[in-house]
Amino acid sequence: MPTGMEINVCCAAMPYRQPLILFARTLCPLGSQAPAPPRTRYATAAHGAGSAHTGSGAAGASPPSQSTSRPYSQRQAMEAGEGTEETPLPLVLTRFQLSEEYGFLLPDPLTELPAPYGPWMEIAHDLPQLIASHRLRSQVHQMPQLSTRHLRGHEELHLAHLVLSFITMGYLWQEGEEGTMKVLPQNLAVPFWEVSQALGLPPILSHTDFVLANWRRKNPNRPLEIENLDTIISLPGGESLRGFILVTLLVEKAAVPGIKAIIQAIRAILQLDEETLHKALQELAEAIGDMSKALKRMHDYVDPAVFYAVIRIFLSGWKDNPAMPDGLIYEGVSDEPMAYSGGSAAQSTILHAFDELLGIRHSEESTAFLHRMRDYMPPPHRAFVEEIHRAPSLKQHVLSSGDARLCTAFNRCVSALAEFRSYHITIVTKYITVAAAKAKAGQADAGDRAGPSAVKPPSALEAKGTGGSHIFSFLKSVRDTTREGMISA
Ligand code: HEM
């Protein structure tokens, strides 16, 4: 029996391939086309099995250079003795498709596709009802096979990916985990594949679709507050689904000053500017604290019974999922089944970026999973993480500076990150473990609160996340290794 093949999603990302020398650029005598300086920091474990990365996946751990007390890039900078010009922050952000105001979120995503894509939009806007009435599959079968050639620019491509990924999840999970399909029909599979190739994203719903590209302001003149926000495309789960997406969006938004602080911190290291570095670390710690505050709002907007019984299955993938052990055939694309993990905030770039900056080293198994999740990020965001990985080590810099203030600021960041991860475990316990126990005991009734729904909660994923991890051993290990990243006195 075929086990399913995992497809390299990276190489499809030609339109967004970036020069990756941004932080060191001003200090490098060869300018922006120069190769990256040799890495002087601990290498994290190799990218996971099946990873599509080729760029920075050096295996094993190697000790930092002992030849000098200064990191290589600083020596190089001083030797270069020139280059005070600095790439403006907005330009650096733009190169990684990051926005100064919205971070990794797509700024003001499009909500409508050009007219020829009316048949997709009509189905997508009606998904909860079509799924509840078991009509989505027949609607998809009647859908014309549309060419993707009228899609222009990455905003339209992102909206097309969002729409097709939601239709795909609804199509596959319409009858719950006992009524899955082995084949995604050609009229859906082929355009979905083409749009995925163009964006360098996998042909499945990812965090990018679910959250980053799936929001709109109700009143364009009012701020990004949950009351003024809505999703563009929905699935069953009613207000809880909306809350789940939008609270996650607020966590992404709270991270924005932290993303900017990363860039400031790396620049400050390169320029030996301890004052700016200290400020950047303070801003980073504060941003992580604000992310934890935003995460707490999950309790106000998401009902655990609805999350567990209704929403979760539609985020499930077809890799490491006993409900779809053979993966999925994308008809008209390949005769071989393909396996992809489901949507998970483990695919959000934020914590990957923070881990890289702070030099957090997770266990080999957790690293393999997290690196696999990077294949589900837009390539420019993945490139941002890889660029941070290549930058000089913040931890080494703080250690060798012997500056107690920097040490304290660094530890505040690590501790805030560990606290975020601890709080996240509390949330996961409530929304998965406790909710599963209640569902089993027959105490939970998602009832009307869920909006229209027709499927049973998934049992195949009781101990696994939608990304496919063994939930608690993974989350606790990642939290504990974060704590170990502190600098001891
Ligand atoms: C009801 C709310 C949530 C639940 C039930 C939940 C559940 C999970 C689960 C089960 C995992 C394990 C990976 C997998 O297999 O999917 C995970 C990982 C992760 N989640 Fe969540 N999550 C929730 C909300 C959030 C939010 C709002 C964020 C913020 C962006 C977030 C960020 C992460 C991250 C970064 C990971 C990777 C592990 C780490 O780096 O610590 N989660 N989540």
Please indicate whether residue 439 or residue 148 has the higher confidence score (pLDDT): 148
What's the distance, CA 246 to chain centroid? Answer: 15
* Contact by Cβ (8 Å): 284, 258: yes
Q: Who lines ligand 1 at CB under 6 A?
A: 244, 247-248, 251, 295, 298, 302, 307, 344-346, 348, 351, 421, 424, 427-428, 431-432, 465-469, 471, 474-475, 478
Task: Please give the distance, rounded to the nearest whole angstrom, from the Cα atom of residue 424 to the centre of ligand 1.
Answer: 7
Instruction: Say if strands 329-330 and 183-184 run parallel, antiparallel, or are unpaired.
Output: parallel
Please indicate whether residue 428 or residue 46 has the higher confidence score (pLDDT): 428
Position 448 confidence tier, pLDDT thresholds 50, 70, 90: low
Residue 6, pLDDT score: 40
**Atom 38, ligand 1: which residue's CA is nearest?**
346
Question: Which residues sit in the known binding site for heme b?
Answer: 424
Ligand 1 nearest-atom number relative to CA 351: 35
Taking the C-alpha atoms of residue 343 and residue 340, their distance in angstroms, rounded to an integer, is 9
**Atom 18, ligand 1: which residue's CA is nearest?**
346
Task: Write the CA distances from 67 to 37, 58, 222, integer angstroms.
Answer: 16, 21, 56
Position 466 confidence tier, pLDDT thresholds 50, 70, 90: confident
Residue 162, pLDDT score: 98
Residue 377 in 3-state DSSP?
coil
Backbone φ/ψ region at 162: left (φ over 0), alpha (ψ -120 to 50), beta: alpha
Backbone φ/ψ region at 60: left (φ over 0), alpha (ψ -120 to 50), beta: left
Taking the C-alpha atoms of residue 389 and residue 42, their distance in angstroms, rounded to an integer, is 10
Tens of pLDDT along 324-354? Answer: 999 999 999 999 999 999 999 999 999 999 9
**Atom 41, ligand 1: which residue's CA is nearest?**
421
Supply 81's token pair.
């003795």
CA dihedral over 448, 453, 457, 461, signed as positive or negative: negative
Please indicate whether residue 19 or residue 121 has the higher confidence score (pLDDT): 121
Task: Please give the distance, rounded to the nearest whole angstrom, from the Cα atom of residue 291 to the centre of ligand 1.
Answer: 13
Q: Is pLDDT of 455 > 90?
A: no
Task: Please give the distance, rounded to the nearest whole angstrom, from the Cα atom of residue 303 to the centre of ligand 1.
Answer: 16
Tens of pLDDT along 193-222? Answer: 999 999 999 999 999 999 999 999 999 999
Ligand 1 nearest-atom number relative to CA 312: 5
Task: Please give the distance, rounded to the nearest whole angstrom, from the Cα atom of residue 355 to the centre of ligand 1.
Answer: 15
Task: Please give the distance, rounded to the nearest whole angstrom, from the Cα atom of residue 346 to the centre of ligand 1.
Answer: 6
What's the rounded mean pLDDT across residues 150-172? 97
Please indicate whether residue 165 or residue 45 has the higher confidence score (pLDDT): 165
Tens of pLDDT along 169-187? Answer: 999 999 999 999 999 999 9
Position 459 confidence tier, pLDDT thresholds 50, 70, 90: confident
Ligand 1 nearest-atom number relative to CA 478: 41
Position 2 confidence tier, pLDDT thresholds 50, 70, 90: very low
Of 277, 350, 343, 420, nearest to 102 (Cα)?
Answer: 350
Q: Is pLDDT of 310 > 90?
A: yes
Work out the percent of the chain whose per-residue pLDDT is above 70.
79
Please indicate whether residue 438 or residue 80 has the higher confidence score (pLDDT): 438
Residue 61, pLDDT score: 25
**Atom 36, ligand 1: which residue's CA is nearest?**
346
**Atom 23, ligand 1: which residue's CA is nearest?**
428
Please indicate whether residue 264 or residue 440 has the higher confidence score (pLDDT): 264
Helical spans, DSSP H, in 310-429: 349-358, 364-374, 379-390, 394-401, 404-428
**Atom 1, ligand 1: which residue's CA is nearest?**
431
- Write down the mean pLDDT value for the chain: 84
Residue 440, pLDDT score: 82
Taking the C-alpha atoms of residue 119 and residue 80, their distance in angstroms, rounded to an integer, is 58
Length, in residues, of the chain: 489
> Among 344, 421, 429, 483, which is best to mutate for testing ligand 1, by the most ligand atoms less than 8 A from CB?
344
Residue 447, pLDDT score: 59
**Ranges of each domain in the chain:** 107-489
Position 261 confidence tier, pLDDT thresholds 50, 70, 90: very high
Question: Which residues sit in the known binding site?
Answer: 424
Residue 469, pLDDT score: 77
Task: Please give the distance, rounded to the nearest whole angstrom, from the Cα atom of residue 269 to the centre of ligand 1.
Answer: 31
**Atom 27, ligand 1: which residue's CA is nearest?**
248
**Atom 35, ligand 1: which residue's CA is nearest?**
346
- List Cβ<8 Å contacts ≥24 apart for 411-416: 411/486, 411/487, 412/281, 412/282, 412/285, 413/281, 413/284, 413/285, 413/288, 413/354, 413/358, 414/358, 414/360, 414/482, 414/483, 414/485, 414/486, 415/285, 415/483, 415/486, 416/285, 416/288, 416/289, 416/292
Tens of pLDDT along 20-78? Answer: 345 544 333 222 322 233 333 322 222 222 233 222 222 222 222 222 233 334 433 33
What's the rounded mean pLDDT across residues 445-461? 62
Query: Kindly report the CA angle at 91 between 88 and 95, in degrees rounded to 5?
Result: 145
In the chain, the amino acid numbered 63 is P
Query: Kindly report the CA angle at 237 between 233 and 239, in degrees rounded to 5?
Result: 80
Residue 265, pLDDT score: 97
The CATH-assigned architecture of domain 107-489 is Up-down Bundle (1.20)
